[in-house]
Amino acid sequence: METSVVKTENLAKIYDGTKAVDDLNLEIKEGEIFGFLGPNGAGKTTTILMILGLTEPTSGKVKVYGYDATREPLKIRRLTGYLPENIGFYEDLTARENLIYITRLNRIPDKKALPKIEEVLEKVGLSEVADLEVRKFSKGMKQRLGMGAVLVKEPKFAILDEPTTGIDPEGVEQILKLIKEMSEQQNITILLSSHLLYQVQRICDRVGIISKGRMVAQGSIDEVGKKIMKGEHISIETQLTKVTPDLLDSIRKIQGVVDIEKSGSSLLIKCERDLREDISRTIIENGAIPLQIKTQDYTLEEIYIRYFQEE
């Protein structure tokens, strides 16, 4: 049975008259990597703080494993690991000492915590630098230590707020791989927030696109793209044996064709609906053969252009 780990109902947060989060309905299912994606200022961090019961909703509800985030935040925090956007460590303590500090803070007995810490350091690839003071760490290393801080708590659910932001490409790969492993090997449900759609989408089972505090669409990238594209023009791409002016004219006359772009023997035809049949027929009637005809898969691009491009 699919159970939800997080469920929000018309969640809203208003700061001084500005709606940071607006009527948000979000659902995260057990076992998935949920990409919570949207540009800077969209309301991701505010939503996360409400999920953790760290800030109170102006209206609406959040439940995590069935617990109300306002009334029972401690129950939620016991089950959840949280990697904040800008995690701070004690810079003059070593990586290992920082993790020991965290397990003690969480009242995990040393006997249990110490072997766990070694295991986690290994997992996040920091065993060899465990005795190095954190101030000598790169941003990527600190972020992996942050993932370690989440893992020592053995959470069922992990909230990672912008874990790949500000890290070099190799560091990003390491973090994404770690997240995937947390999900696959340890069965941890993951909320991964990011403003970098292209970077993180490939490891997400489902995504929710948030823009100006509102959830625009939720589902697989494919479903979300389709939803966003609904009512929009679709592009049909075709490759022909030859393109004549008469043929272009005939295609232009098909009802529902909005625009044609020609490049060599390929056409990109913008239509109001899927007109592949009509277009194929017209091509053949004009003495050419469609070597290939397909609808263009531009969904991710559309999501990006519409919601993620920085102005």
Ligand X SMILES: Nc1ncnc2c1ncn2[C@@H]1O[C@H](COP(=O)(O)OP(=O)(O)O)[C@@H](O)[C@H]1O
Q: Per CB under 6 A, does 120 bind ligand X?
A: no
Residues 7-26 that bind ligand X (CB under 6 A): 15, 20
Q: Per CB under 6 A, does 38 bind ligand X?
A: yes
Q: What angle do CA 36, 161, 63 make, to 5 degrees?
A: 65
**How many positions of this chain bind ligand X (CB under 6 A)?**
10
141 binds, among ligand X, Mg ion, none (CB under 5 to 8 A by kind): none
Q: Per CB under 6 A, does 41 bind ligand X?
A: yes
- For residue 150, the minimal CB distance to ligand X (Å) is 18
Long-range contacts of 219-222 (CB under 8 A, 24+ apart): 221/299, 221/300, 221/303, 222/299
Stretch of 35-43, 172-180, 261-269, 272-280 lying at the interface with ligand X (CB under 6 A) = 35-43
220 binds, among ligand X, Mg ion, none (CB under 5 to 8 A by kind): none
- For residue 41, the minimal CB distance to ligand X (Å) is 4
Q: Per CB under 6 A, does 158 bind ligand X?
A: no
Q: Per CB under 5 A, does 46 bind Mg ion?
A: no
Q: Per CB under 6 A, does 86 bind ligand X?
A: no
- For residue 159, the minimal CB distance to Mg ion (Å) is 12
Closest CB to ligand X among 38 and 146? Answer: 38
**How many positions of this chain bind Mg ion (CB under 5 A)?**
2
Q: Per CB under 6 A, does 169 bind ligand X?
A: no
Q: Per CB under 6 A, does 80 bind ligand X?
A: no
- For residue 124, the minimal CB distance to ligand X (Å) is 24
Q: Per CB under 5 A, does 45 bind Mg ion?
A: yes
- For residue 198, the minimal CB distance to ligand X (Å) is 17
DSSP state string for the chain: ---EEEEEEEEEEEETTEEEEEEE--EEETT-EEEEE--TTSSHHHHHHHHTTSS--SEEEEEETTEETTT-HHHHHHHEEEE-TT----TTSBHHHHHHHHHHHTT--HHHHHHHHHHHHHHTT-GGGTTSBGGG--HHHHHHHHHHHHHTT--SEEEEESTTTT--HHHHHHHHHHHHHHHHHH--EEEEEES-HHHHGGG-SEEEEEETTEEEEEESHHHHHHHHHTTS-EEEEEEES---HHHHHHHHHSTTEEEEEEETTEEEEEESS--HHHHHHHHHHTT--EEEEEE---HHHHHIIIII---
Stretch of 39-47, 50-58, 98-106, 170-178 lying at the interface with Mg ion (CB under 5 A) = 39-47
Q: Per CB under 6 A, does 171 bind ligand X?
A: no
- Give me the residues that bind ligand X (CB under 6 A), please: 15, 20, 38, 40-46
The contact set with Mg ion (CB under 5 A) reads 44-45
